[in-house]
Structure 1
Amino acid sequence: MRSGLILAGGRSTRFGGGEKSLRLVGGKRMICRVIDALCPVADELVISVRDERQKELLFPFIRGMEFVYDPIKDIGPLSGILAGLERARGDYVVVVACDMPLINTAAVRLLFERAQGHDAAVPGHAGGLIEPLHTVYHREHMLRAVKESIAAGESKISAPLMRMKDVVYVPDEEIRRVDPELETFLNVNRAEDMERIKLKK
């Protein structure tokens, strides 16, 4: 079984406020685009949100999904990942952000395939940059690593990866075979990024 975890609990401070995940991209809510990309490759989807109030904002647009709430405040995405991994049932889980509206289904499928038998399959760019929020993790191994990182006071999203022994790094050239422009990694951090995304669609 494969699971998908969508992190939607960020406060969008760089975006300028409002519920960023509900902004329209090409006529569709951003988080709905992410859901549509993951549904063909995941048997279940879990949505991580800050609290009940945020769930109420999202629920009308994404009924039928499982929601989890941040169990620990003010530590960033690791809290949402912790909650999501505890709820997910798949052996492997793809963890993505809600603000990546051009996620490529074939790229996610590739990562699931590359992760099989390993702790994680992480996209890696030239210069050492990685995409921990576009990665497939072995659920049990990642859950343990997240708990250890939080206990150690680590909040970086990449911290749990440093605690894993068998991580596969998938280079750009491999991802380009299914996504030539690497659009799957584009995200919306600021309002001006919306224009960049619109030019792509």
Structure 2
Amino acid sequence: MWLAFYNPQALGDVLLLTVGPLDRDKAQVESKGQVTLIRDEKSQTVKAINLFNVAEDLNLEGQGQVNLSDDQVAKINDLIQAAGFDTQIESDNSPKFVVGYVEECRPHEDSDHLSVTQTNVGDESLQIVCGAANIDQGLKVIVAKPGAVMPSGKIIWPGQLRNVDSMGMICSTRELGLTQIEDLPGIWELDDSFEPGTPLDQVVAAYQK
């Protein structure tokens, strides 16, 4: 899944696209016209694309993360192809912060403070490694799924913690910038009435009634 960011004040008219983390020391850069592709040097997988001078073509406004429309994705793919690259992008605007139900929770075999959970997020169950002391089976929580962008700017990608796969992050109100609702250490323990997969904005609205 490709994520898009636009910050004209800091970078000028450049749309930044990324599909995963990349070590800058292992990046291979190739530019053609207004398109720059950044590949992993070893695998040759395209990890990022920079598009220059595209604000007018793509009707870009404001700054920060851009939720690309189908029309914008089509135009971006046309620009990439016109530059002579065969890479294509896809966009996924489904909610990335959702309610999860912790179906299983066991101690991490190589850590004295991490737990390995199986967390139902509505349409799937994700294995997520969590370091919060209050994580437990049976809790309703907020999950940042892969592709989520935290208020800090950190992007949540699939990864590993102590050699165990982790497909997301279980969040606290502090990490979500929601301390006006609750300001306690550890993950946010939700009311049990929320269904797995419920978007975060609906949860916030319910707590603010």
Give me the TM-score of the superposition, normalised by structure 1: 0.31
Query: In terms of Rg, which structure is larger?
Result: 2
Structure number having the greater strand percentage: 2
Structure number having the greater helix percentage: 1
- Structure with greater contact order relative to length (CA < 8 Å, sep ≥ 6): 1
